[in-house]
Amino acid sequence: MIVTKASVSDFTVFKEAWSEKVNRTFFGDKIYNGQNFLTDMNNKFNSEMLTPVKAIKGTPDVLKKFDKAVNDLYSKAVSKIRQPIEALFSWIIEKSDIQKASKVRSTKGLNLHIYGRLAATFITLIFNS
């Protein structure tokens, strides 16, 4: 788990922490699509990032229609894998209120807040199920 400022982009964190993992498949959202960095990562580390297809501005309608079925199927497959992960994150945010850390003033306090909220959420889940 990596904790960063909210202003740090997901792509930056990915590049710094995960991009050199060997023989991996990552599933990302459209922000990762079309990055030259990902081609290099695939060539160097045999790891790839699968993302839903992002429409390219200026593509003629004929080409859009020609590729639509394949792109829709591929995007649906990638999204189907990402959906449970996104649902878990949403559930954690909803149950733990983990994003409300306005009174935290130090890194130690932030870690206590994060891990305390996660522990309390999962303990509640265990005893209330």
pLDDT digits (tens, 9 = 90+) for 82-111: 999 999 999 999 999 998 988 899 999 999
Q: How do the domains of the chain map onto residue ranges?
A: 99-129
Q: Model confidence over 37-87: pLDDT tens digits?
A: 889 999 999 999 999 988 778 888 888 888 888 989 999 999 999 999 999
DSSP the chain: -----TTS-HHHHHHHHTTT-SS-EEE--GGGTT-HHHHHHHHHHS-EEE----PPTT--HHHHHHHHHHHHHHHHHHHHHHHHHHHHHHHHHHHH-TT--TT--SHHHHHHHHHHHHHHHHHHHHHH-
Evaluate if residue 122 carries a pLDDT over 80. yes
Number of other CB atoms surrounding residue 76 within 10 Å: 10
Q: Which two tokens stand for residue 60?
A: 């003629």
- Which amino acid, 31? I
